[in-house]
Structure 1
Amino acid sequence: MMRFPLALLILASATVGGLYAWARVRSAMPPEGSQLVLIEEAKHLVTPDMAESSRAMLDRPAPGFAKRATDGETHRLDEMLGGGPVLLTFIKKGCPCSEAAQSFFNQLHAAYPKVSMWGVIDQDLEKAKEWAGRFHVPYPLLVAPEEDLIHAYGVENSAYSILVGPRGRIAKHWPGYSEPMLRELGSLMAEMTASPEKPLDLADAPLELYTGCPYDL
């Protein structure tokens, strides 16, 4: 006699539980018309070919340039090198890897002020200023909307960084960023400027070498 009411009670409980779970999932979903951005990690790992291309750039003369920057001035590589080593970081607007890497480059700038640091971005001056303000970039960004400077340095994707030694040759050419890479970069910046090595907070950096979104080649 009690089996039928008990079955109904179980069915009702399951239905209510299912509706509650659906409501929780629905509430966590983005509103209609918005986009949920997911980074596919495998697509952002540096490939062996990219790593080999970067190694091939080592000890080459760094291509000269004269580029306008977000500080309103036009800068030349030979003038930059007058103050010691130069670090170029490569940025693509809208690339999640560029955005994620920037906080680490900000740390390196604060730790090693004797290294002349410059970003290279594929945007015009106004958009470059917007990006720099959004991510609190403490050094100027060189604008390269035509991507000529990007290609001249053998850069395929954003989140590359290139260290140019005082003699004007490419000392290191990284096709992405990672915790070990950032520590190596910090050590080289300290060594090249005869500065004490500084601690860096790299807990959020990837352990494997990640690259960014591709430029238009």
Structure 2
Amino acid sequence: MPHMNKRLCNGEFAPAFRVPDLQGDTVDTRNFRGRWLLLSFYRYASCPLCNLRVHKLSGLHAGWQTRGLDMLAVFQSPADKLRQYVGSQHLPFPLIPDPEQTLYQRYGVGHSWIGFLVAWGKRLPEIGRAVLREGYFPGSVEGGIHRIPADFLINPGGRIAEAHYGRDIGDHLPIARIEHQLANRSFS
């Protein structure tokens, strides 16, 4: 199991970072101060559940952006694999390749074989929909196949409003929790 830093908690300042995105543009999280930020950590670029989630978020992006929420998506895959798979969706928010998994470590995002196995029983209909209906066929796996996703909803002051560490490979921060935080507009 790779080294994992401690998990972050609600109320803590989100670790700042400055990295290139898939397009080669610099993403500096300090530039998002004054706005909400949904920072999501996914598995690998061809992960069917990850592609399904990213597709859902892309449909919510325009409405959320007008309400002051920006999004960033981090993958453990290199840029060429992101372009081949999830990047082919032409998403309205930046994708960040992190094959060295530096950001995963900074945010305490880990792995779990149990979480990998549980998802096959718990999320089989969702996996089937991602593959059969949406066409998100799994391809190459970069990084650990047992990577568990995580989401961080960061408030305009730079603090974590919601830290959600998934329990399985398809567990993300529920959309309803994001909506609740946006409606509440807590800046502390």
TM-score, normalised via structure 1 length: 0.56
Tell me which residue corresponds to 2:157.
167
Q: How far is the alpha carbon of 1:185 from its aligned partner?
A: 1.2
More helix by share: 1
Instruction: Look at both structures and tell me which one has the larger radius of gyration over its CA atoms.
Output: 1
For residues 136-176 of structure 1, the C-alpha deviation after alignment (integer angstroms, 9 at most, x for no partner) is 42211122111110121122244321111112111101223
Matches within 5 A, 1:29-68: 57-68=9-20
Matches within 5 A, 1:14-163: 57-82=9-34, 84-93=35-44, 94-113=46-65, 114-156=68-110, 157-163=147-153
Q: Work out the percentage of aligned pairs sharing the same amino acid.
A: 26
The answer (yes or no) to whether the contact 1:58–1:170 under 8 Å persists in 2 is yes
Tell me which residue corresponds to 1:35.
none
The answer (yes or no) to whether the contact 2:38–2:72 under 8 Å persists in 1 is yes
Select the structure with the greater relative contact order (CA < 8 A; seq sep ≥ 6): 2
Query: Number of matched residues?
Result: 139
SS class of match (1:112): helix
Q: How far is the alpha carbon of 1:178 from its aligned partner?
A: 6.3
Cα distance change, pair 144–102 in 1 and its aligned pair in 2 (3 A): same
Find runs of 4+ consecutive structure 1 residues off by over 6 angstroms.
177-180
Tell me which residue corresponds to 2:139.
none
Tell me which residue corresponds to 1:184.
177
2-structure distance, mates of 1:145, 1:173 = 22
1:173 partner amino acid? A
Q: How far is the alpha carbon of 1:64 from its aligned partner?
A: 1.3
The answer (yes or no) to whether the contact 1:120–1:142 under 8 Å persists in 2 is yes
Cα distance change, pair 111–129 in 1 and its aligned pair in 2 (3 A): same
TM-score, normalised via structure 2 length: 0.63
SS class of match (2:174): helix
Q: How far is the alpha carbon of 1:180 from its aligned partner?
A: 8.4
2-structure distance, mates of 1:179, 1:149 = 17
1-structure distance, mates of 2:173, 2:20 = 32
SS class of match (1:174): strand
2-structure distance, mates of 1:181, 1:78 = 25
Q: How far is the alpha carbon of 1:66 from its aligned partner?
A: 0.7
SS class of match (2:85): helix
